[in-house]
Chain A
């Protein structure tokens, strides 16, 4: 069964810093990987989707990479802002299912 891990569980950085969030998965047979943002009391907002044939995707200040062979993905956030404070979750699609990590709670300090 696919296991998805996100480390660290929580991260606090000063405003303006560049940061990297990590996602690892145990089974490399995936169709795609998706990064989400979740604000308190809200649903999940899609940030980036990387297909299994891709190495990375970019959207604004966000860049996500995928290394299937090592079972890892990273989400890079450039020039962090207080508005980036949220929980970030990754999900991998294998078979018919999405498998979610438990998320990294990010706090950006003004």
Chain B
């Protein structure tokens, strides 16, 4: 079974530029999460999708971050414009249909903002 796929693995941009991250969850997983992980901390939830609907985006900085999951499968997370404090690893995770099962993570996308 293929795992959660993310790209790119690494991205370096200058502040005020834009960046997009892509995630393809495990096949059949209805729930998809985006987390931000800053070095030395646990993952912080940015947004949760159930199929193509948003369940929780209360911690997403909506003035600069956006995310979509148009067909209930792949998802894209965008940051525009980026700030220095956005430097972090962006992790995508997926979970099976009923949302109470095991959480599976991708390898993450490491963003450095200069």
Tally the A-B contacts, defined by beta carbons under 8 Å. Answer: 51
| Contact status A103-B42, CB under 8 Å | yes
- In chain B between 66 and 90, which residues have their CB closer than 8 angstroms to a CB of chain A? none
**B-binding residues in A (CB < 8 A):** 4, 31-32, 34, 36, 41-46, 49, 51, 89, 91, 93, 96-98, 100-103
5 other A-B residue contacts (CB within 8 Å) besides A97-B45, A102-B41: A32-B100, A93-B100, A96-B56, A100-B43, A101-B42
**A-binding residues in B (CB < 8 A):** 4, 6, 33, 40-45, 48, 55-56, 91, 93, 99-108, 110
| Contact status B103-A102, CB under 8 Å | no
| Contact status A43-B107, CB under 8 Å | yes
| Contact status A97-B56, CB under 8 Å | yes
| Chain A residue at smallest Cβ distance from B100 | A31
